[in-house]
Amino acid sequence: MEDAQLLLCGVLVLLVSHSLANVNGDSDVSTSSSSGSGTKTYIVYMDPSSMPAAHPSPAHWHAAHLQSLYIDPARSLLYSYSSAAHGFAAALLPHHLPLLRGSPGVLQVVPDTLFQLHTTRTPEFLGLLSPAYQPAIHNLDAASHDVVIGVLDTGIWPDSPSLADGDLPPPPAHWKGVCEAGVDFPPSSCGRKLVGARSFSRGFRAATAGRGRMGAGRRSARDRDGHGTHTATTAAGAAVANASLFGYATGTARGMAPGARVAAYKVCWPEGCLGSDILAGIDAAVADGVGVLSLSLGGGAAPYFRDTVAVGAFGATAAGVFVACSAGNSGPSGATVANSAPWVATVGAGTLDRDFPSYVTLTTGARLAGVSLYAGPAQSARPVMLPLVYGDSHDNASKLCLSGTLDPASVRGKIVLCDRGVNARVEKGAVVKAAGGAGMVLANTAASGEELVADSHLLPAVAVGKLTGDKIRDYAARGGKPMAMLSFGGTILGVRPSPVVAAFSSRGPNTVVPDVLKPDMIGPGVNILAGWTGVAGPTGLAKDGRRTRFNIISGTSMSCPHISGVAALLKAAHPNWSPAAIKSALMTTSYIVDNTNSSLRDAAGSLPATPFAFGAGHVNPQKALSPGLVYDISTNDYVVFLCSLDYSETHIRVITKMSNISCPRKSRPGDLNYPSFSVVFKKKPKHVMRYRRELTNVGPAMSVYNVKVSSPASVSVTVTPSKLLFKKVGQKQRYYVTFESKASPSHAKPDFGWISWVGNEHVVRSPVAYTWKM
């Protein structure tokens, strides 16, 4: 799929070779000259109960274990994990694998995998700046000083004004993180806002050994990409007045939790993010004392015991850390959602009520609307009509404006119509400019529908939806001398309808465990303004020499840190809440109507969206602070859930780090105390499923809730009891739900409904997805 700034997911086993100077540092490691030796990087999960008492630390044990198998740890050992997971990463030869797999204490050996990376207006859009909310937010700003948000990404640009210390007090006493010195990154780069920065590249360097070594200048936490600075400042950036991208989206930029601290863990590089580096980053973040982890990256669907992020996130969650991950940018296709573990908050993307209008005017008099962030000379000059060209009718590559497909003689001085897809949107603009084109119209195809994503192109360019694109395509195909004119309208607010689910946002159902509904929720992820690196232009292209302190980009990478920042506010307001309780509050208070009071719509087809696209709905921070009731989940509850998946005891131990696993005789994944339901019926007459849930009162004592059920005609739903009385704060009450399929055996389309508990002050709503399988 296309769109470099809607960064996608993939999995790849990589060849590696290296030597190791020490296990805990990163800067001392150099790649081995024997890069052709056939080694590969593996993550080896160990049973902590097998560690002999003679070893002073897990790292010492891991090195000794390799030595006992005649594997040189100085050349093989990359990382030792002990906080979020138990085990190590090592470069191994093929004959090492049976030795390790057959040795005592080793639970699992899995190949390293490659993952990919998936504002001024958003605080106001989310209600964080409403006058009625200001007293509460002021108190939360102070309370959030004790919350550190760990961001695993491409690093950090510490000079960003969004990372200024301001009047913040010293870092919290529990913080154990460090500011790791590196090239162009002295320890003084950190302060009271950016309280920690580390770089993890051993896995990456091992993977690329012999194929162009990492330059020494890249070995630091400094962000040379921009993605990491953008996500970090979205989550917790300090307020910066008069922020904009070349005049677009002008206003005060601030993160969701501007009082929270930021710790950057650089685990991603231009080529991607290695699982061994990611796990090292999570492991360090947990040991450092972060309260929230934000990961705007993802890989392919895999069982949780083979998913590095899922394993690391479990350890973090068990330590009380809230973990948010992006859902991925593989929409609008179904069954594409990434990061689907139930202990992770999986975040999809929606639009804001802000837009950047631009227009394509044809000689017919039609003035067709699109979006653009172009800010070059032609923006202020008087627009003129220019010839319009649209590829070769027999060459789809030229219609996509792929590199090398445009004939300069045909496009010089003209506006080129390009179909969206395959290569990055900004790369298409660069291709047109290199061929001598004067402008570009970027037209969506069916895959992106009416979703409009603005870019700061290198030449005048307007992005249009599919319907408008079809009109321009028809006009260009009529023959004669088609002409077009491009014009740009700046920034507008109050766009209706909004939010709309982004077409690129990955969708359910969950292919790993269909009984868990994913994504969990959506947040703002389209055209988001936040901090940027000082060494890359807004397009991220090497040929883009422009520089800006802020950039506007899109993706579930952008929606994820919105949720991370809001979670930090909830953690500050309710320091004793578990990560599951925080996620429950975010989900059950989310909204499912837009600013026209209509059901949330899907940008892919302009039809009503479903919980497979938006989960529980769009996050509502104000209501999440006081949800009334929460669905809490303990570590043991997750263990029972893993038992219900028929995972082996060894696989459960890999995920949980527990030495002794006791599974109940009978358990079902649907009984996990999750804030949503995913009911998978068999295609047989009147199939019945019965689930249980438990609610905890975090509202006032003597609260009464009555159930309200909304169900499709294909399902009958009965909730027992239908009324819950909570006499005191913290009291727990169970209820049971019976779902009976009324659908015919040929029924194939998913259906959806809601189960809500309605009190005097709160509505606690859970989405329900229904699917049928053979």
Tell me which residues are annotated as active site: 153, 227, 557
Q: Are 769 and 509 in contact (CB under 8 A)?
A: yes
Distance between CA 505 and CA 731 in Å, rounded? 37
**DSSP structure string for 376-433:** SGGGTSPP--EEEE--BTTBHHHHTT-TT-S-HHHHTTSEEEEE-BSB-HHHHHHHHH
Torsion of CA 135, 137, 142, 148, to 10 degrees: 170
Token pair in block for residue 694: 């438990």
Judge whether 560 and 530 are in contact, CB under 8 Å: no
**What is the chain's Cα-based Rg?**
26
Could you count the other beta carbons within 10 Å of the beta carbon of residue 706?
13
- Residue 81 CA to its chain's centroid (Å): 24
Residue position matching structure tokens 């179909």: 419
Structure tokens, 369:
């609307």
> 635-644 and 649-656 helices cross at what angle (nearest 10)?
150
Cα within 13 Å of Cα(768), Cβ side? 24
What token pair was written down for 502?
Answer: 């982004």
Q: Which residue has the tokens 């992020």?
A: 309
Three-state DSSP state, 475: helix
**b (16+ CB within 10 A) / e for 313-322:** bbbbbbbebb
Distance CA 721, CA 630 (A): 17
Per the omega criterion (within 30 degrees of 0), is the bond before 172 cis?
no
Tell me if 621 sits within 8 A of 754, measured CB to CB: no
Q: What is the distance of C-alpha 52 from the center of its chain? A: 39
The DSSP code sequence of 361-374 is EETTS-EEEEE---
Largest CA distance in the chain: 85
Distance, first Cα to last Cα, the chain: 31
| C-alpha of 236 from chain center | 16
Q: How many CB atoms lie within 10 A of CB 281?
A: 28
Which tokens belong to 379? 């923006």
CA quadruple 334, 337, 343, 348: dihedral, nearest 10: -100
Q: CA dihedral in degrees (271, 4, 295, 638; nearest 10)?
A: -100
Instruction: Give the C-alpha separation, 358 to 362, whole Å.
Output: 14
